[in-house]
Amino acid sequence: MVSRLRSTRTVCWLVILASVTPFTAPALAQDSLPPAPYAYQQLEDPALEAKATDLMHTLRCLKCQSQSIADSDAPMAGDMRHQVRTRIAAGEEPEEVRQWLVDRYGDYVSYQPRVTASTWPLFAIPVLVVLLAGFILRGRLGRKKGDAE
């Protein structure tokens, strides 16, 4: 009898908890609107969805600045995913969508490195280092050969 009373009480608490939780959750959320239609829903065409997902992994979430929009649950990242998916579904190429965002936020929004006036040393230095190493190696090996002869 006692145990049944206790279990009834537990059920009561669970019911209260369950009825209160849905009301407290939105208060904690950033905003009150549901996510954009294509924030969490995949495109019907698997090929287009694959294109969109690949692109989303290389776009930076503007709110949570070290995540891609594919990894972020921020509402704004959801809205950006919606933009990417609807634009891809409308026939745009991934690079066009990337360019659309870069036109608005600069290179910052893209994780794909590009050769620009400020980034070219990043691409040039490794090439120079390899050339220099080749040059030194050739000098040393050439000399050794010369010594042997």
Question: Which residue, 3 or 66, has its beta carbon nearer to another protein?
Answer: 66
Q: Measured between alpha carbons, how far is 99 from 102 in angstroms, rounded to an integer?
A: 5
Per-residue interface string for the shown chain with another protein, residues 95-124, x marking contact by CB under 8 A:
------xxxxxx-xx---------------
- Candidate ranges 31-39, 44-52, 88-96, 138-146; the one touching another protein (CB under 8 A): 31-39
The torsion angle over the Cα atoms of residues 107, 109, 113 and 116, rounded to 10 degrees, is 0
Applying CB under 8 A, among 48, 53, 67, 82 the residue interacting with another protein is 82
Q: Which pair of tokens denotes residue 141?
A: 């090996």
Taking the C-alpha atoms of residue 58 and residue 94, their distance in angstroms, rounded to an integer, is 10
Residue range at the interface with another protein (CB under 8 A); choices 25-33, 49-57, 124-132, 138-146: 25-33
Residue among 103 and 147 whose Cβ is closer to another protein: 103
- The SS3 assignment for 60 reads strand
